[in-house]
């Protein structure tokens, strides 16, 4: 698994891991071995206030952190660039954007995360009337932009863009006209656009990942209620296969776990939430042939699972942690954490770091038994996913960005 992550996340060798939502290829797995297991608030390297409100995960390149936020109750959207050494602002770019209907109390107007490479950083700025994709250089100069049109959703926007080879891929699975699009990184020129089925109340918040498929061309894996788990050709947008077996909104991103890909659906109240594992491969609609199993007990709705060394680790929104055998769904262990979760867990050096909306970072051990290693403070609650870079852990809390780790 770690070799696969290294192959997909080619920036790791240069010390650039967390360039997109959930790090290398969206796996949530870091190669770093220097993040502490326990700490106190006195151990924070720094903690800086962030203007506005966001649940965006930071991304990093070199000595710069990039983060989106929504200022003035969401009427102004911002791209922020901070110095990695101390969190001080280097530059910001702000855009007026009308707000849409009231958000879910657990959401913000800046839920999605940017994506960054050595030359540019790209983010989505979305309202009811506009879906802006904007590309900046590292000095803050806007290089190109596209307005993809209106956005209809019950709870706003949340998916993050991703980079594949020389393109940036943007998902737009919403209640209105839906599609996935790819743009040339250098020029912003549209490369391909694939229509998607829309489902009322089924806006998807998942961010895609690439499955390399040994012996075959790589595939782009997506999660949405309209298509379930689906596979597209990342170079053309053509559909390979789909498994539309989910009857509720999909928020968690898809996770490749051995020979299956895991997806989950749900709703805020939790009633009827479930997880299904879909066997990789096939052609066209594989919903009747490729569903390996479905789980309905303590499955995550918002947090994305982790997969490593033959086990999938799940953190439910309501605070139940579990490990399963991904090929069969068999439970290996489970335990109650007594906390609420919206950010996704990350795996660092054989330990699972779980950010809570209650203001803790809970640390669990991987393996065949439930083992709670630590409950650490992060200053206040979070609905963001941690970022790992060069021996440090970065957490966007409700009002601050916190840095923990090496000096």
- Cβ neighbors of 115 (< 8 A, separation 6 or more) are 19, 20, 21, 59, 121, 122, 123, 160, 161, 162, 163, 168
Q: Which residues pair with 131 in a beta bridge?
A: 126
**For the chain, first and last CA: distance in Å?**
30
Look up the pTM and report it. 0.95
What mean pLDDT is predicted for residues 384-407? Answer: 95
Domain residue spans of the chain: 2-405
What tens digit of pLDDT does each residue of 163-194 get? 999 999 999 999 999 999 999 999 999 999 99
Average pLDDT, the chain: 93
Closest to 182 measured CA to CA, from 167, 162, 164, 165: 167
What tens digit of pLDDT does each residue of 102-146 get? 567 788 889 999 999 999 999 999 999 999 999 999 999 999 999
Query: Is the pLDDT reported for residue 14 higher than 60?
Result: no
The CATH topology of domain 2-405 is: Methanol Dehydrogenase; Chain A (2.140.10)
d(CA 23, CA 386): 9
pLDDT at 233: 98
């Amino acid at each position: 698994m770690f070799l696969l992550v290294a192959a997909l996340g080619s920036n790791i060798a240069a010390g650039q891991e967390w360039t997109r939502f959930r790090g290398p290829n969206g796996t949530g797995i870091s190669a770093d071995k220097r993040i502490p297991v326990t700490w106190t608030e006195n151990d924070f390297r720094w903690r800086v206030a962030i203007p506005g409100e966001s649940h965006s995960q930071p991304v990093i390149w070199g000595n710069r952190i990039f983060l989106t936020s929504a200022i003035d109750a969401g009427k102004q959207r911002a791209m922020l660039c901070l110095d990695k050494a101390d969190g001080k602002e280097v530059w910001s770019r702000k855009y007026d954007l009308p707000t849409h209907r009231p958000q879910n109390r657990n959401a913000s107007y800046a839920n999605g995360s940017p994506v960054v490479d050595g030359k540019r950083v790209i983010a989505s700025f979305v309202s009811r009337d506009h879906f802006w994709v904007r590309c900046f250089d590292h000095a803050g100069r806007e290089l190109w932009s596209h307005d993809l049109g209106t956005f209809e959703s019950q709870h706003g926007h949340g998916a993050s863009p991703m980079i594949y080879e020389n393109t940036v891929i943007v998902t737009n699975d919403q209640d209105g006209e839906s599609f996935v699009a790819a743009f040339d990184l250098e020029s912003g020129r549209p490369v391909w656009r694939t229509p998607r089925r829309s489902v009322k109340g089924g806006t998807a918040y998942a961010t895609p990942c690439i499955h390399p498929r040994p012996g075959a061309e790589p595939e782009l894996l997506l999660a949405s209620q309209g298509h379930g788990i689906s596979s597209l050709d990342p170079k053309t947008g053509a559909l390979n296969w789909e498994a539309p077996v989910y009857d509720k909104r999909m928020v968690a991103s898809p996770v490749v776990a051995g020979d299956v890909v895991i997806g989950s659906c749900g709703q805020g109240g939790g009633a009827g939430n479930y997880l299904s594992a879909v066997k990789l491969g096939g052609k066209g609609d594989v919903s009747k042939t490729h569903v390996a199993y479905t789980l309905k007990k303590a499955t995550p709705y918002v947090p994305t699972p982790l997969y490593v060394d033959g086990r999938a680790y799940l953190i439910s929104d309501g605070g139940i942690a579990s490990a399963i055998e991904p090929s069969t769904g068999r439970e290996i262990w489970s335990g109650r954490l007594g906390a609420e979760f919206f950010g996704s867990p990350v795996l660092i050096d054989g330990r699972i770091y779980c950010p809570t909306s209650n203001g803790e970072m809970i640390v669990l051990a991987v393996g065949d038994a439930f083992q709670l290693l630590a409950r650490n403070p992060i200053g206040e609650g979070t609905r963001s996913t941690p970022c790992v870079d060069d021996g440090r852990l970065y957490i966007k809390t409700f009002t601050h960005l916190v840095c923990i780790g090496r000096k």
